[in-house]
Amino acid sequence: MFSDLLLNTEYIYIDGMKLLNVNSLLRKFRSSSKYLSVLEPLRHSLVMGDTNTENIKITHPDVLLKYIKDKDFTFSAEDIGIKFLDPRAIGFHEDGVDSGADDPMYDNKPWHNSLGQYDVIHSELFDLKINENHDGMSIEVIPHFNNSYSSSYEGIEHHFKSVMCDAWDLDNPESEINKNDPNWLIRFIFIMGAHFTAMPPFHFHKSEDGTMIDSYQHQRRPVAIYAEGIKWLNLALNMLEGKTHEFYGISVPSFDLEQVA
């Protein structure tokens, strides 16, 4: 199933869009030292724990439901009792001081689950359509209407800018992220794509009798995960090439690649 037909064509069609496939993307990224310098993180961190939404629990759901009913979205994490079952990826602190061992980019995992459709894909709340074109396979991932995450994530993309500005003080030109990592948005998009594209081997599954059926429909989860990754990697390349200028209200940094160190 994960054969040359899926992986090694120059192009692949995903949700009706003709996109570069993974090897073509990698050649593009690796061919430019300037691209690599933008994508290379400031530091590498060993991140443990998981801010997956399945590990985020709300201990006062009745309070949250009342806020939602009243259309009042001014509640805090304390109001609704948010608890992390595995919080080690949200910053290592000792005596109130951040040790710096955390990778802040990983703290964006909830966007991976929502904007990236991971929760829908992981729960297999979608239909998969596969067709073969003369120049690449066509994959359509169609989320089920009114699936379990439909209302929860509806319109969440409109909050991306405000959440990131509040979390990282983006409105302040002197903030750490603006001064030290102005290309964070491109790296965020790239990491989303790299993560999804690398995940399929961890999502193959067997039937109840222990056999693994090697077909697109039986293994639709890893196929959909791969397709999602390709979309994000193409978006990252478009940003590097200056073809995409905005992402949910946040401007893509403009830079002269000739001057990137």
pLDDT (0 to 100) of residue 104: 66
pLDDT (0 to 100) of residue 84: 74
What span, in angstroms and rounded, lies between the C-alpha atoms of 143 and 227?
14
Dihedral Cα 210, 213, 216, 219, nearest 10 deg: 10
pLDDT (0 to 100) of residue 259: 46
pLDDT (0 to 100) of residue 141: 97
Question: Cα dist. 1→39, 59, 142, 148, 223 in Å?
Answer: 31, 42, 20, 29, 9
pLDDT (0 to 100) of residue 191: 92
Sign of CA dihedral 207, 213, 216, 221: positive
Q: How far is CA 228 from the centre of its chain?
A: 9
Q: How far is CA 108 from the centre of its chain?
A: 8
What span, in angstroms and rounded, lies between the C-alpha atoms of 35 and 37?
5
pTM, two decimals, is 0.81
pLDDT (0 to 100) of residue 248: 96
The residue ranges of the chain whose pLDDT is under 70 are 44-52, 85-104, 106, 255-261
> Coil, strand, or helix at residue 82?
strand
pLDDT tens-digit profile of 43-90? 766 555 566 677 788 999 999 999 989 989 899 989 999 887 665 555
Q: What ranges make up the beta strands (E) of the chain?
A: 11-14, 17-20, 56-58, 82-84, 93-94, 97-98, 126-133, 136-143, 246-247, 250-251
Q: How far is CA 188 from the centre of its chain?
A: 8
Tokens standing for 139? 């994959």
